[in-house]
Amino acid sequence: MNTVPHPRDTREPIEATAATVANFNLVLITGMSGSGKSVALHALEDAGYYCVDNLPPELLAPFIALQRQQQATHVAIAMDVRSGVSLPQVPQQLDGLRREGVALRSLFLDATTDALVRRYSETRRRHPLSRQEAQRTDAPERQHVLIQAIDLERELLADLRDGADVIDTSIIRPAQLQSYVKALISAPESALTLVFESFAFKRGVPLDADYVFDVRMLPNPHYVPALRALTGRDAAVIDWLREHEDVGRMYVDIEQFLERWLDALAQDHRSYVTVAIGCTGGQHRSVFLVEQLARGFGARWAALKRHRELDGN
């Protein structure tokens, strides 16, 4: 039976398998309680990763040493606020693993407070930081305690959120989340991965956006009866939008902005940058621009695309 070696005994196994470090892929999943970490972990398990949920940070180093010793190549670990006082040491541990050559991807799942409150209300689960919540009989007071716990959790996880690729799960379905996670981990290794995301302003701005561009002022195919039911991926809509100079001008403006700053972001050791393009319904204009931008930037950078309002249909 294999056991986790004591930290002081890990030097020899790590050195003995140093040649395999380059083939060791580690995905760390963190995020808000109720944001979908279990769904993301299942997606990684389906993709062939050996998955461990709620690993205490104190066991991270010996666990990785054991996995290297056993010549594992794809490992996923979920950590959350239940780890308590040991959470602050995780960013430093991750930096150490990167210096050792471990291919590390960090995913942070987030959601709006309203979405989290609704999920807890539907499942009747208790938030790990709201121990007093179950003792409250008054519904408004229970919700107040829950919101306080969520706010505290955001504060405790702030350092883990920085530097991670953030996925906003507020209004996406589990199948969408699984698809997004699999796309991120399958993206080719590069200095920077770009995620272009279309969305509808009427359903809120994505929490995972690093940059947000509002394209609601552009000509809208929604008002053309023959195009209303189509999307920005359909040839008829593409041709119609290309006929309007403002659409081309918007593309060039976004392109030039990103070209100006992407190298600086890469030099700042950013792994992911999410560029969100929003229109009224998230169906035509934003979808068209995301498709074009992903195609254009994909020649130089690893570029992914998401269509928040379409992917779940």
Residue 312 marked as a ligand binder: no
Residue 170 marked as a ligand binder: no
Specify the pTM: 0.79
Percentage with pLDDT > 90 across the chain: 59
Mean of pLDDT over the chain:
87
Residue 35 marked as a ligand binder: yes
Inform me whether the pLDDT recorded for 136 exceeds 80: no
Residue 271 marked as a ligand binder: no
* Higher pLDDT, residue 304 or 102: 304
The CA distance from 61 to 209, in Å, is 32
> What are the tens digits of pLDDT across the range 57-74?
889 989 998 998 898 999
Residue 80 marked as a ligand binder: yes
Inform me whether the pLDDT recorded for 13 exceeds 60: no
> What are the tens digits of pLDDT across the range 186-235?
877 666 889 999 999 999 999 999 999 999 999 999 999 999 999 999 99
The CA distance from 297 to 274, in Å, is 13
Choose the most confident range, by mean pLDDT, from 58-72, 118-132, 162-176, 249-263.
249-263
To the nearest 5 percent, what fractions of the chain are helix, strand and coil? 50, 15, 35
The count of C-alpha atoms lying within 13 angstroms of the C-alpha of 173, restricted to the half-sphere facing its C-beta, is 8
3-state secondary structure at position 230: coil
Which domains can be identified in the chain, with CATH numbers? 25-186 (3.40.50.300), 193-312 (no CATH)
Closest among 311, 33, 91 to 181, alpha carbons compared: 311
Residue 81 marked as a ligand binder: yes
Residue 208 marked as a ligand binder: no
Residue 37 marked as a ligand binder: yes
The CA distance from 237 to 194, in Å, is 25
